[in-house]
């Protein structure tokens, strides 16, 4: 008997239960209740966010598959080639089982890509953890989560042979107990290779292929749609276990299968497992699908239909096969030594029907289940502007100490400790090593060069979600411009707290509207992504973190540009106004322990002009290095330009006396600024081009052979030995992690 307590435990409200009864014309049985609970969870249905997501621009001349149509969006990159890319989260699983949570997140996003018919060629990630400094129990837990997540990502990516070529890692107290693990993958395909996930062709057989189904990952989608609590360790069965070697076999088998012409439709068994793949393929195809759970390969005995349907065991696919091609399909699966079974058939009644031998365990209209979950527009709190920053109440820190403090802050420090665990050289496509503004990858089969970046400053979003989300898009585009690339499109991962709380829903709405506005300005349609809500621990909600993953294209190999200085004697230029906005800066956080003031304001015209100008300079062949000013401001950008390459080059810089405070001049985070270096002979041409475009720019210094950074600002002459700065920057995370 289904009681109100059982309904509530499944995350179904009384009103939703009545809706289920209306759809079925009866009460659901226990298995059907479980099916509705996962498909109508936030993780699968986006019931609290879908109305907001409709605000994103999703079309454009390059868009071949729109957001929401399939497992991933597809973008044309010319000459008959296309890319499929997407970002997903595995936040809650990684909080309770960091290694497997992160590893299976990587596996899941890779499947989303090859399900589209694309060969995955690289991955990236965006990670957030609590503060790893100190010896408190919380810091030790944060270090354990950090180490486990990085190990899980490296294990899966390295074993399957897909390079992890870039990303970002931030540390902040708001993520203590609720880390964010956002994973990104991109694949390449010809236009004619785009695969679809619809169950089409009445009478076509339905095949299951991949790992046997077990009890791991049970109700993982529902688990990801509620807050983390002190009891969340009991949810370890909701964390899947991954096998990258099995996934490699599945990847190759599926790509061969798609090339064979045998496939009418294909769908990854991701969130909600067999339930999701069955009802979604039927809904997309406008058909029905009937399967028998007794035929499903299982690795554990005694599994019930409820467990089989809700299991999120990894490395599994559902394939709709053209009738008459069954033997060819079986031969491919056997060649790749994969478990498989013919488990069902496509029919014309629009139902998702699940049998257990001779009895019917589930019978639900597929479209109602997959596409008609209730949609909510939650109450939003009243918007309040952040209080202005009162600099008179903030003492000016000693800049000689402040710069190494910033460079050693884990969010700004070199992430070499992370990257050294990733095989970023497999496939030999990473032409820019991790650590520059954006990753750059050569897709040799398509003769194309792609740039990609993940970005979000959550402090900005905490202070002003709309402005912070706009800046996330702008910074991603700026990072891509600094490599010489033109932005094409983006995917996102919207990480927020419980949407039932008005202040959290306001953050979500503001961020979506800000991001949507920026996407239109930068002409970067949203190809898809993920919404991860309920990111809260007992200590409270995370800072709003709408992460952007953007992809661009480089037209000529000669245009590929990196952030570090190349030789002594080059002129250093600052593109954009010097700025004076210190609010919401990492300087305030790292040096003064404050999240205060409004974030910097984004001027679209100024931003677009700076990005277009730096690309024009790169194409003209006059730029030797380009690095955007972001966290830590101009001083951090200069230090990183000096020491992020294999060789260290110093710099002598003189800033105009426009600021009464040195910390404002050095560490403000005003937007639309890029530091470039050019040969002395090219300086006049560079300045002429910038002037012709009306872009504020000025020579600010010269690169040095000596390993020191000298800056004159606000009437002070400052100097730092680069050896000391580099040691603070490169060793900070390794020292904290004990390696």
Instruction: State the DSSP code for 542.
Output: P
Strand partners, 353: 290, 363
Of 10, 43, 92, 559, which one is the catalytic site residue?
43
Question: How far is C-alpha 494 from the chain's CA centre?
Answer: 9
Cβ neighbourhood burial of 563 (10 Å; 0-12, 13-18, 19+): buried
Q: In what order do the strands lie in the sheet with 674-678?
A: 625-628, 674-678, 571-575, 697-704, 650-654, 708-713, 716-721
Of 90, 155, 409, 586, which one is the catalytic site residue?
90
CA distance 136 to 141: 9
Answer for the pair 109, 184: CB distance below 8 angstroms, yes or no: yes
Length of the chain: 739
Contact partners, residue 89, CB within 8 Å, separation at least 6: 105, 180, 181, 182, 183, 493, 495, 530, 532
CA distance 307 to 134: 43
Identify the CA nearest to 321 among candidates 230, 191, 203: 203
**What is the three-class DSSP state of 548?**
strand
Token pair recorded at residue 165: 């070529």
78-116 exposure pattern, b = at least 16 Cβ within 10 A, e = fewer: eeebbbbbbbbbbbbbbbbbbbbbbbbbbbbbbbbbbbb
Query: 43 an active-site residue?
Result: yes
Token pair recorded at residue 458: 């959550």
CA distance 515 to 474: 9
**What is the three-class DSSP state of 432?**
strand
CA distance 548 to 524: 11
Quickly list DSSP for 169-224: EEE-GGGTT--EEEEEEEEEEEGGG-------STT-EEEEEESPB-STTTTHHHHT
**What is the three-class DSSP state of 297?**
coil
Query: 90 an active-site residue?
Result: yes
CA distance 725 to 594: 23
**Would you name the residues annotated as active-site residues?**
43, 90
């Amino acid at each position: 008997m289904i009681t109100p307590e059982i309904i509530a435990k499944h995350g179904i409200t009384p009103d939703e239960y009545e809706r289920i009864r209306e759809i079925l014309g009866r009460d659901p049985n226990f298995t059907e209740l479980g099916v509705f609970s996962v498909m109508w969870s936030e993780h699968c249905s986006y019931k609290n966010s879908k109305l907001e997501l409709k605000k994103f621009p999703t079309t454009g001349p390059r868009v071949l598959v729109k957001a929401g149509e399939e497992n991933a969006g597809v973008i044309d990159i010319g000459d008959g080639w296309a890319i499929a890319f997407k970002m997903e989260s595995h936040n809650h699983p990684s909080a309770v089982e960091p290694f497997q949570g992160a590893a299976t997140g990587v596996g899941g996003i890779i499947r989303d890509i090859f399900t589209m018919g694309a060969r995955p060629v690289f991955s990236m990630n965006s990670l957030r953890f609590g503060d790893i400094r100190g010896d408190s129990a919380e810091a030790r837990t944060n270090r354990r989560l950090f180490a486990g997540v990085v190990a899980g990502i490296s294990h899966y990516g390295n074993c399957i042979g897909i390079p992890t070529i870039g990303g970002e890692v931030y540390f902040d107290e708001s993520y203590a107990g609720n880390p964010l693990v956002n994973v990104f993958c991109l694949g390449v395909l010809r236009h004619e290779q785009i695969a679809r996930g619809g169950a089409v062709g009445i009478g076509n057989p339905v095949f299951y292929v991949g790992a046997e189904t077990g009890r791991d990952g049970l109700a993982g989608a529902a688990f990801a749609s509620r807050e983390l609590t002190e009891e969340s360790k009991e949810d370890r069965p909701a964390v899947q276990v991954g096998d990258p070697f099995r996934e490699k076999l599945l990847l190759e088998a599926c790509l061969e299968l798609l090339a064979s012409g045998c496939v009418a439709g294909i769908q990854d068994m991701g969130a909600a497992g067999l339930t999701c793949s069955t009802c979604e393929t039927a809904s997309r195809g406008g058909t029905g699908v009937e399967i028998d759970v007794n035929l499903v390969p299982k690795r554990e005995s005694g599994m019930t239909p409820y467990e089989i349907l809700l299991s999120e065991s990894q490395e599994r696919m559902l394939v709709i096969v053209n009738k008459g091609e069954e033997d060819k399909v079986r031969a491919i699966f056997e060649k790749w030594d994969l478990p498989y079974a013919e488990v069902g058939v496509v029919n014309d009644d629009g139902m998702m029907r699940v049998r257990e031998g001779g009895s019917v365990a589930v019978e639900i209209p597929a479209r109602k289940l997959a596409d008609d979950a209730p949609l909510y527009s939650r109450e939003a709190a009243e918007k309040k502007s952040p209080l202005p920053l009162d600099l008179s109440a903030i003492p000016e820190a000693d800049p000689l100490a402040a710069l190494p403090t910033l460079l050693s802050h884990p969010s700004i420090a070199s992430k070499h400790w992370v990257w050294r665990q990733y095989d970023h050289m497999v496939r030999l496509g990473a032409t820019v090593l991790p650590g520059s503004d954006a990753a750059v990858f050569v897709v040799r089969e398509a003769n194309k060069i792609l740039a990609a970046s993940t970005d979000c400053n959550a402090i900005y979003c905490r202070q002003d979600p709309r402005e912070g989300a706009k800046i996330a898009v702008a910074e991603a585009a700026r990072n891509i411009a600094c490599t010489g690339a033109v932005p094409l499109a983006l995917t996102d991962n919207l990480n927020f707290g419980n949407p039932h709380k008005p202040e959290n829903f306001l953050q979500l709405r503001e961020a979506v509207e800000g991001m949507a506005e920026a996407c239109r300005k930068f002409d970067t349609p949203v190809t898809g992504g993920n919404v991860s809500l309920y990111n809260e621990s007992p200590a409270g909600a995370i800072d709003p973190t709408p992460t952007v993953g953007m992809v661009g294209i480089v037209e000529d190999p000669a245009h590929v540009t990196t952030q570090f200085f190349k030789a002594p004697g080059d002129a250093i230029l600052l593109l954009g106004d010097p700025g004076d906005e210190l609010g919401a800066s990492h300087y305030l956080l790292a040096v003064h322990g404050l999240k205060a003031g409004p974030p910097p304001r984004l001027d679209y015209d100024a931003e677009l002009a700076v990005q277009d100008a730096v690309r024009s300079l790169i194409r003209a062949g006059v730029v030797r290095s380009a690095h955007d000013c972001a966290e830590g401001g101009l001083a951090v950008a200069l230090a990183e330009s000096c020491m992020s390459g294999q060789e260290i080059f110093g710099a002598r810089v003189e800033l105009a006396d426009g600021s009464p405070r040195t910390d404002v001049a050095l560490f403000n985070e005003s937007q639309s600024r890029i530091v470039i270096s050019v040969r002395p002979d090219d300086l006049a041409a560079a300045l002429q081009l910038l002037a012709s475009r009306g872009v504020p720019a000025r020579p600010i210094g010269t690169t040095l052979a000596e390993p020191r950074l000298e800056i004159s600002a606000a009437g002070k002459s400052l100097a730092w030995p680069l050896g000391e700065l580099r040691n603070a920057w490169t060793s900070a995370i390794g020292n904290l992690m004990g390696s």
